[in-house]
Structure 1
Amino acid sequence: HVKFIEQFGENRDGGRWLMMSDVCKHCVHAGCLEVCPTNAIIRTEFDTVVIQSDVCNGCRDCIAACPFGVIDINPLNNTAMKCTLCYDRMQSGLTPACAQACPTASIQFGPLSELRARADARVQQLTDGGEDRARLYGADDSILGGLNSFYLLVDEPEVYGLPANPQLPSQNAVPSAVLSTAGAAAMGVLGMVGLRKRRMDGFAAEARADAEARATATDDAGEEAPRA
């Protein structure tokens, strides 16, 4: 998938197109792999992330866990699917098809250290040319431990539809657990208050009944017997 972002004014002048290969990022810390209940999602010997369709049960947990929205459901067998970085080609020593076919070398493949060095040099070149928004996204470990498919951007990540600070499901679970515990504690306190109020209301009702009974008995005792 290639994402196109149009940046033009009302008069259609002075604008530009931004383009990004919107495929799986093969995160070092992958949320999809973390939540998969059947271990259908694995990390390969190339440090890429692959879905085994024959093990997938189609639960869609991985779709919810992916902060980049790159996982879909195969309508033919109802299992999850995404970019594998051409795992079969890599096993045969070949370059992924997208990098092989790209006519401008915008998509490059190779050892991460070499790619980072090339990307750093390109950022410097763009910066020297006046593009002060040029940056790398996912090249270091600040984004989910690093992305094995990282990007050179010339605008904010959000412009490309990329989250500025994506989180793992386990990182989001801690606040949820705290909130759940706090909610349970609050409900417990409310329950105790409600129970205490009901007990106090009960005591008050009993006291009123006793007082009324004593008043009735006093009235009866004070009445004169009818004279013959």
Structure 2
Amino acid sequence: MNRLRMLAVALAVLTLGTSSATCQTWQPLTNQPSFSPGAVLLLTDGTVLAHSEPNCLNCTSTDYNSWYKLTPDSSGSYVHGTWTQVASPTGYAPLYFGSVVLPNGHVVVEGGEYDCSSGTCNAAWTNQGAIYDPVKNGWTSVAPPTGWKTIGDAQSVILPNGTYMQADCCTKDGTAAGLLLGLLASRVLALVVCQGNSPRSNGVGRCCSSYGADGATSHVDSDPPRAVG
């Protein structure tokens, strides 16, 4: 009986909380993008950077090289914001890749399961990468760490101390390498390879990462789904 009473109270509290909560809603953009958006990143200046990825059944474009920026209007509204095309990295048009916004406002794009630079996407698990500077509107190529032959569609994350960590999709020796960029202001100070225990024997594929309040990184792998600390 006590358990039933506790359950009734819990349901009542849940109902009250649900009824009093304010529901959020989706609003369509006034200015719809002229391209098919893929990876989307919120930059530190408040603009939104989006990659052109016409990877859909009804898409006819072959443009995987272009990047666009959504700028809010004068009142800060994204709904009424405007899209503008920004610079593209030279010779690098990936599909399914790691991407993060660095503390200094720059954007890192690493790897790519597919190379679409020719207009046709071919499986590559490339180790290419580039850094975008939104102030200069330009890209700089990034060489992979020594010994890295692949990065592919592996995930990336910014750690609580500002360090950028990038996994390797296809390491098969039982270790997962992490690409660490030590950052101070706008300078990249170090490029370090860290070896550690791999969450799976053949690296880490298309997945997501996050960290908790204690600074520990969690990894959720989509092939097959799993989470590790």
Question: Which of the two has greater strand per residue?
Answer: 2
**Higher RCO (CA < 8 A, seq sep 6+):** 1
Give the alignment's TM-score, normalised by structure 1.
0.20
Greater Rg over alpha carbons, structure:
1
Question: Which of the two has greater helix per residue?
Answer: 1
